Amino acid sequence: MNIRNPLVAILRGITPDEVLAHIDVLATAGFTTVEIPLNSPDWQTSIAIAVAHYGQTIHIGAGTVTAVSEVNLLSAFKCSFILTPNTDPSVIDAARDAGMTTCIGCHTASEAFVAIHHGASALKIFPAGELGPGYIRALKAVLPTHIPLYAVGGIRPDNLADYLNAGCIGAGLGSDLYRAGQTVNQTAKNAQAFIEAWNACKQQ
Please state, in angstroms and rounded to a whole number, the distance separating the CA atoms of residues 63 and 12. Answer: 9
Active site residue 18: no
Sign, Cα dihedral of 148, 153, 157, 163 = negative
Q: Where are the alpha helices (DSSP H) in 34-88?
A: 43-54, 68-76
Which of 124, 130, 140, 196 does the annotation list as catalytic?
A: 124
Instruction: Please answer whether residues 80 and 63 qualify as being in contact, where contact means their C-beta atoms are separated by less than 8 angstroms.
Output: no
Dist. CA 42–CA 1, nearest whole Å: 23
Amino acid at residue number 124 = K
Contact, 91 vs 71, CB < 8 A?
Answer: yes
- Name the catalytic one among 18, 35, 70, 140: 35
Q: How far apart are CA 96 and CA 181, in angstroms?
A: 34
Q: Is 124 in the active site?
A: yes
Under DSSP, the state recorded for 42 is T
Query: Of 83, 92, 75, 77, which Cα lies nearest the Cα of 47?
Result: 77
Catalytic residue ranges: 35, 124
